[in-house]
Amino acid sequence: QQQQFAQQQQHQQQQHHNSNGHGFYNHPVAAGSDPSLNGRMHAGNNLRSSILYQTDILPPDEPIPATPMGSNNMPSTPASANFSDSTSAQLRRRSQLSDTAAYGATGLKNFGNTCFMNCVIQCLVGTAPFARYFMQGGWKKDMVRDNSRKTEVTVEFARLVDNMWRGQYGSISPIGFRSSVGKCSEVFKGNDQEDAHEFATFLLDTLHESLNRVHPRPKPEREFTPEEEMQFETLPDVQQADIQWGRYIRRNWSITTSIFQGQSQSRLTCLTCNHTSTTYYTFTELSVPIPSADAAKGPGSKTLVRKSSKNNIRNTGPVNIYQCLDAYSETEILEGDNKWMCPRCKTKRRASKRLLISRLPLVLIVHLKRFSTIGHFREKLETNVLVPTRNLYMDKYAIQQQRQQASSSTCYNLYGVANHFGTLSGGHYTASVFNGLRGQWNYFDDTRVSIIPENNVATPAAYLLFFVQAQQ
């Protein structure tokens, strides 16, 4: 029965693959018109993944022509946008740039409180294969025009990427992009300071919906029957994960899926009969808690806590990123009022719950949960989270089969950081992004751009961390 169930699921996936014209299902990392992502070819060197050292990301000599919003005509790619220049010509052209107006080092104007938007844009534009997809025009043929507001966000984002990588200006004003975002989302319409994590989620989701290559979408698949659930639980983890990933990509495949999306496993285990219930979720950002230094050190430890009631800021001793990941994946015991209704026991039982990663993405975005709600009050954790810029190992937090897959590395290198300074109401966002073309880290404070040493990148203000998968 177990083999029959697994074969049925695999047969459904193969039928879907044969019935559509999308060869990218053969290479579930490839997306759009960017063949360089097939098989994760750009997975790295000793310093950082080589997707950050691409020379073919250099922009054409002509800008994307402006198209009035509301028009159904998409901006056309100029003839010079075929990236046919030789590498040496590209390098010569790059060497003529000044330090203040360089490729990948363009600042963004702050419209009062839009620094939360600027820092996310800088980190995404610094993601080379993502930027290359927009600059080479792959987004145009993938565009879904069902929602004009999301379409407008995508068109304006593509224009913004092109202008930022052109290297002609020290800073630019993203007024068109900001306007399109306000039309698409009430949350980001005004002039208030918003959350950078919420904006990153909004933007990547909007781009995914606008550029989903599975169109028209098939109907959602039915839920498993209780009998199928039982059979599903007998399968190895890697087979379970593949089945659920296949069900997801039958309705979702975009550049966002290709680069940023991973899959997590949540498993409940009855502590009486050992029956399990396993659920798989697709994630774009991995939100991890920041434990107190006491909790990270274990019972009996004490750390000085400095708290400012005026600004609702709490300071504790430093922890490292692995302690945050430990807190994310630690086993939780459900008991008392939280007991689980075990399908096999037919009654509520004490159960364990654990989260692991079943599919690691090419780019792993880690969201440090600095903001918390306690009763009616919100607090910000100013805990210094120590983060390595190179060699973050995710083995411990992935299912066993994911660790053993030869085609997938569990080691990551940092290439982007979105920082938050200050209080909940009066804070400021900046970004640090690795520029592979110049082999240096740039610090973006709205329109101001400067070079920053690598050892100054991961600061106590780190809020969003962008890691790229290293080569095996």
Rounded Cα gap, residues 368 and 395, in angstroms: 19
Task: Clarify whether 27 is annotated catalytic.
Answer: no
Choose the catalytic residue: 42, 197, 367, 428.
428
Nearest one of 213, 209, 107, 196 to 151, comparing CA atoms: 209
Within a 10 A sphere around the Cβ of 391, how many other Cβ atoms?
11
| CA-closest candidate to residue 353, choices 285, 261, 264 | 264
User: What pairing do the DSSP bridges indicate for beta strands 385-386 and 440-445?
Assistant: unpaired
CA distance 365 to 402: 18
Beta strands (DSSP E) in 323-452 are: 332-334, 340-342, 347-349, 351-359, 363-369, 371-374, 377-381, 385-386, 392-393, 411-421, 428-435, 440-445, 448-452
Separation between Cα atoms, residue 422 and residue 429, nearest integer Å: 9
Task: Please state, in angstroms and rounded to a whole number, the distance separating the CA atoms of residues 177 and 179.
Answer: 5
Residue among 16, 115, 197, 411 flagged as catalytic? 115
The DSSP bridge partners found for residue 22 are none
Residue pair 32/43 in contact by the 8 Å Cβ criterion: no
Mark whether 17 is an active-site residue. no
Q: Taking a C-beta distance cutoff of 8 angstroms, is the pair 101, 168 a contact?
A: yes
How many Å apart are CA 302 and CA 295, to the nearest integer?
Answer: 9
**C-alpha span between 4 and 228 (Å, rounded):** 11
Distance, CA of 240 to CA of 233 (rounded, Å): 8
Residues with a catalytic annotation lie at 115, 428
